[in-house]
Structure 1
Amino acid sequence: MRISRLFSVHRQALSARTITQLDRMPPTQSYLPAILWVLLSTFIWTLIFAAGKLADGGIGVFQLTLFRYFGAILTLLALLPTQGEASAHRSRQPFVHLARAFSGCGAAVAITWASANMPLVDATAIGMSYGVIAILLGTLVLKETVSGRHWLAVLVSLVGVGTIMLSKGAFQSGVSVVPALVALASAALFALEGLLISVLGRSERAFTVMIYVTFFGFCLMLLPALITWQSVSPKTTALCVLLGPLGVVGQYCTIRGYRSAPLSVVAPVDYSWLFFSAILGILVFDEMPDTATWIGCFAIVVGGILLARAGSGRS
Structure 2
Amino acid sequence: MPPRLTYLPAILWALASTAIWTLIFAAVKASGGAVGAFQLTFLRGIGSLAVLVPMALATGGFGQYQSRQPWAHLARTLCGSGAAVAITWASAEMPIVDATAIAMLYGPLAVVLGVVVLAERVGPLHGLAVAVSLAGALVVALAQGAFSGGLVLAPVLASLGGALLMAVEGVLIRVLGQRDRALTVMLYVTVLGLMVLAVPAVLDWQPLGPLGLLACLALGPFAVLGQYCTIRGYRAAPLSVVAPVDNAWLVFAAVLGFLAFGEVPGPMTVLGAALIIAGGVALTRVKAR
Q: Report percent identity of matched pairs.
A: 53
Q: Which residue of 2 aligns with 1:298?
A: 274
CA distance in 1, matches of 2:8, 2:198: 38
Q: Which residue of 2 aligns with 1:251?
A: 227
Q: Which residue of 2 aligns with 1:67?
A: 43
Q: Deviations over 1:21-75 (max 9, x none)?
A: xxxxx99421111111111111111222222232222211211111110011111
Contact 1:206–1:252 (CA under 8 A) maintained in structure 2: yes
CA distance in 1, matches of 2:169, 2:154: 22
> Displacement, 1:174?
5.7
Contact 1:27–1:311 (CA under 8 A) maintained in structure 2: no
Q: Which residue of 1 aligns with 2:283?
A: 307
More deviation in 136-145 or 269-278? 269-278
Q: Which residue of 1 aligns with 2:60?
A: 84
CA separation of 1:62 and 1:274: change in aligned 2, threshold 3 A: same
CA separation of 1:285 and 1:119: change in aligned 2, threshold 3 A: closer
CA distance in 2, matches of 1:170, 1:43: 20
Amino acid at match of 1:39: L
CA separation of 1:183 and 1:55: change in aligned 2, threshold 3 A: closer
1:38 matched to 2:11: no
Q: Which residue of 2 aligns with 1:11?
A: none
Amino acid at match of 2:191: F
CA distance in 2, matches of 1:275, 1:116: 18
Q: Which residue of 2 aligns with 1:109?
A: 85
Aligned residues: 288
Runs of 4+ in 1 over 4 A off after TM superposition: 112-122, 171-182
More deviation in 300-309 or 107-116? 107-116
Q: Which residue of 1 aligns with 2:136?
A: 160
CA distance in 2, matches of 1:76, 1:180: 34
Q: Deviations over 1:174-205 (max 9, x none)?
A: 65666544433221111001111110000100
Q: Deviations over 1:260-282 (max 9, x none)?
A: 00001000011111122222222
Contact 2:100–2:250 (CA under 8 A) maintained in structure 1: no
Q: Which residue of 2 aligns with 1:151?
A: 127
- Which consecutive unaligned segments of at least 5 residues does structure 1 have? 1-25
More deviation in 283-292 or 224-233? 283-292
Which secondary structure state, in structure 2, belongs to the residue aligned with residue 284 of structure 1?
helix
CA distance in 2, matches of 1:176, 1:311: 42
Contact 1:201–1:259 (CA under 8 A) maintained in structure 2: yes
CA distance in 1, matches of 2:98, 2:32: 21
Match of 1:185 among 153, 157, 161: 161
CA distance in 1, matches of 2:8, 2:221: 26
